[in-house]
Each structure stands twice: as structure tokens, then as C-alpha cells.
Amino acid sequence: MKKVLFALIAWPLVVRASVRAAWWVRRLPLDEATTRLRVVPDLPGWLRRPRWLAALADRLLPFLPPYGYGPCFKRSLWLLDLWARCGLEPKIHLGMYPGQSPSTQPRELHAWITAGPLSTPSDHEEIWCG
């Protein structure tokens, strides 16, 4: 029941994060856009649940902007905003599977986010972090 109530209260935060991501990523280079997405006011203590916000973002992912990007990149942009509001210092990472060569096969790119205790290792070779 707590998670349902949380989702009802927090969904506007995810919508706001998606709109901000769509706005900045289309207008600025990626490094500047990611910096802007992290400049946000803090949430009240009872809303600072980064894992719950990530789960809610996953549920809303197909329905919100920015459109035309892969789901991992879109989710990472949203979480820059949401996790920064939780008082974390999130970073977005872009990478591809190691050993992939663009001349021999299509590249499979991936985006993920890290933030202190919420960081998980990735099996992708990082090509950019911001």
C-alpha cells in the first residue's frame, strides 16, 4: 500500500523529469544537458526513495518523452533529475559491449546511471561519462 501511495504522489515528479530531459537534450550538447538536469531542488525526506523513483520511472518509460531514444538512455536522463532531487550525485555513463567493432557488426550502445551506493557495475566498455 505504501508503494501505491508513493506512486500516486510521485508520478508528477517523473513527468517533470521527462519533460526537462526532452527540453535540455534537444537544445544543448549532452555534457551541458546532463549538468542542467542535475540542478534541481531537494525533495522532502519522505519522498527521497531513489529505488522507488527508479521503479516508477520504469513503469512510465514507454509513455513519456523524450521520444526517439533508447529506453536505457531515456531512463538514465530521468534518473539524473530524480536522484539529484534525492540528494545523490548521479552520473550518466554511455558505453558499448567490449570488443565490438563498427566495421564488423552493428554497435550495441547502452546508457546507465551511477550514484554512490546505488552504483552497479556494467559489463559495457564506457565511452563517455557525465
pLDDT tens by residue, 33-43 = 999 999 999 99
For residue 45, the one-letter residue type is G
What range does the domain containing 67 cover?
2-129
Element holding 91 (H helix, E strand): strand 91-96
Q: Are 114 and 129 in contact (CB under 8 A)?
A: no
Q: Which residue has the cell 545523490?
A: 88
Higher pLDDT, 99 or 108: 108
Q: How many domains does the chain have?
A: 1
Q: How confident is the model at residue 1 (pLDDT cuts 50, 70, 90)?
A: confident
Does the structure show a pLDDT above 70 at 102?
A: no
For residue 6, the one-letter residue type is F
pLDDT (tens digit, 9 = 90+) per residue, 44-96? Answer: 999 999 999 999 999 999 999 999 999 999 999 999 999 999 999 999 999 98
Q: Are 33 and 80 in contact (CB under 8 A)?
A: no
Q: Interior CA angle at 80 toward 100 and 123, to 5°?
A: 25
